């Protein structure tokens, strides 16, 4: 029953996001590319986390969709641009947007989603001045992380885990933090942004590590063409005999710290956050099986 409810909610969220992200005019040049991209929206983790927090903070239902769409739109904009920069031809089991519709269309589609994110933010029922400033600061961190990633050598020689940690937290952490920080703008006693950011940096690092462990073979195949930064390769280059095992141990430590924060700060304890932490733990168990690439 619970799985069915989650499936139904996911489908509802997907329709809500399609209604915002895809131009209503079918003759619009971006209608087909964006409909194609969002027809397979992935897990929509950022949307779900933001929607759960917004509901907890008594934001009206009519505003929740707009608020939850902000980090999800920005995330998808970054994916579209990232696929082009990395020359990744596949996304979520299908052709990436740039490989299907061309590089020029992909650039415009990503830019369009960024502009939509700000429009959704203006209609999200939070203080626009503070919300726009916060969103800009978080996007700046994402861009900084992407530039660190792009600056790495194409021979995949990175061996400094601290560089990887910094890169991952900046690329992935800000939009996860946004899922709480934007709804929290309506709180009179909102926790400090710096404290929330630390919590979601740990969440993001675990999330990215698990993603890397899953994609290590694909990332290594990019050697010589793009940086293909992957935590398993980084740790192996740094002298760890079993980079995969060590990476998963780091992810476990991150998840334990997030669980501790959820216990200490009830404002973080939503069903969606607990579900995602459980899913990360399951992924670690699945990836811990012997016989997989080290």
Reported as a single tens digit per residue, the pLDDT across 69-123 is 999 999 999 999 999 998 889 999 899 999 999 999 999 999 999 999 999 999 9
Of 206, 218, 124, the C-alpha closest to 165 is 206
Inform me whether the pLDDT recorded for 129 exceeds 60. Answer: yes
Domain-by-domain residue ranges, the chain? 2-287
Contact 28, 143 (CB under 8 A): no
Q: What is the pLDDT of residue 221?
A: 83
Highest mean pLDDT among 87-91, 150-154, 245-249: 245-249
End-to-end CA distance of the chain: 38
From CA 270, how far away is CA 53, in angstroms rounded?
A: 7
SS3 234: helix
Is the pLDDT at 19 greater than 70? The verdict is yes
Assess whether pLDDT exceeds 80 at residue 10. no
pLDDT at residue 293 tops 70: no
Strand runs labelled E in 68-127? 90-91, 94-95
Q: Does domain 2-287 have CATH number 3.40.50.300?
A: no
What is the token pair recorded at 138? Answer: 């978080």
Burial class (CB in 10 A: 0-12, 13-18, 19+), 223: middle
Is the pLDDT at 226 greater than 90? The verdict is no
39: helix, strand or coil: coil
Spatial contact of 137 and 175, defined as CB atoms under 8 Å apart: no
pLDDT band, very low/low/confident/very high, at 148 (cuts 50, 70, 90): very high
Q: pLDDT category, 26, cuts 50, 70, 90?
A: very high
Q: How many whole angstroms separate alpha carbon 237 and alpha carbon 156?
A: 9
Residue 266, pLDDT score: 83
Of the pLDDT bands very low, low, confident and very high (cuts 50, 70, 90), residue 290 is low
The backbone region for 59, taken as left when phi is positive above 0, alpha when psi lies in -120 to 50, beta otherwise, is beta
Residues 166-215 have pLDDT tens digits of 999 999 999 999 999 999 998 887 788 899 999 999 999 999 999 999 98
For residue 205, what pLDDT is reported? 97
Whole-model pTM over 0.75: yes
Other beta carbons less than 10 A from residue 265's beta carbon: 14
Per-residue confidence (pLDDT) for residue 59, from 0 to 100? 87
pLDDT at 196: 92
Question: What residues contact 3, with CB distance under 8 A and at least 6 apart?
Answer: none
Band of the pLDDT at 225, cuts 50, 70, 90?
confident
Of the candidates 228, 79, 51, the one whose C-alpha atom is nearest the C-alpha of residue 152 is: 228
pLDDT band, residue 4 (cuts 50/70/90): low
Q: 91 forms bridges with which residues in the sheet? A: 94
**What is the per-residue pLDDT for 163?**
96
CA distance 186 to 189: 9
What Rg, from alpha-carbon coordinates, does the chain have? 19
Closest CA to 107 of 117, 116, 97: 97
Q: Per-residue pLDDT for 21 more than 70?
A: yes
Per-residue confidence at 5, pLDDT binned at 50, 70, 90? low
The DSSP letter of residue 94 is E
- The enclosing H or E element of 292 equals none
What six digits make up the tokens of 225?
A: 């063409």
> What number is the average pLDDT over the span 40-67?
91
Q: What one-character DSSP code corresponds to residue 185?
A: G
Residue 7: band (very low, low, confident or very high) from pLDDT cuts 50, 70, 90:
low
């Amino acid at each position: 029953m619970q799985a069915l409810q989650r499936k139904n909610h996911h489908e509802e969220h997907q329709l809500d996001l399609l209604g915002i992200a895809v131009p209503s005019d079918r003759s619009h040049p971006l209608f087909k590319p964006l409909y194609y991209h969002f027809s397979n929206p992935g897990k929509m983790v950022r949307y779900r986390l933001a929607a759960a927090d917004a509901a907890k903070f008594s934001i009206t239902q009519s505003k929740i969709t707009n608020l939850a769409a902000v980090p999800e739109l920005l995330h998808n904009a970054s994916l579209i641009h990232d696929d082009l920069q990395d020359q990744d031809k596949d996304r979520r089991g299908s052709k990436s947007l740039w490989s299907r519709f061309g590089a020029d269309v992909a650039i415009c589609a990503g830019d369009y989603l960024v502009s939509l994110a700000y429009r959704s933010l203006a209609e999200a029922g939070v203080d626009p001045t503070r919300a726009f400033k916060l969103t800009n600061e978080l996007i700046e961190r994402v861009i900084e992380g992407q530039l660190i990633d792009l600056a790495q050598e194409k021979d995949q020689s990175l061996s400094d885990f601290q560089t990887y940690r910094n890169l991952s937290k900046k690329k992935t952490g800000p939009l996860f933090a946004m899922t709480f920080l934007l709804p929290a703008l309506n709180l009179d006693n909102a926790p400090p942004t710096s404290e929330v950011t630390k919590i979601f940096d740990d969440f993001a690092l675990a999330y990215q590590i698990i993603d890397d462990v899953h994609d290590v073979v694909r990332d290594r195949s990019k050697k010589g063409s793009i940086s293909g930064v992957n935590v398993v390769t980084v740790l192996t280059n740094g002298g760890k005999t079993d980079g995969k095992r060590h990476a998963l141990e780091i992810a476990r430590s991150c998840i334990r710290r997030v669980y501790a924060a959820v216990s200490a700060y009830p404002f973080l304890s939503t069903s969606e956050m607990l579900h995602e932490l459980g899913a990360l733990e399951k992924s670690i168990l699945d990836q811990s099986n012997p016989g997989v690439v080290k």
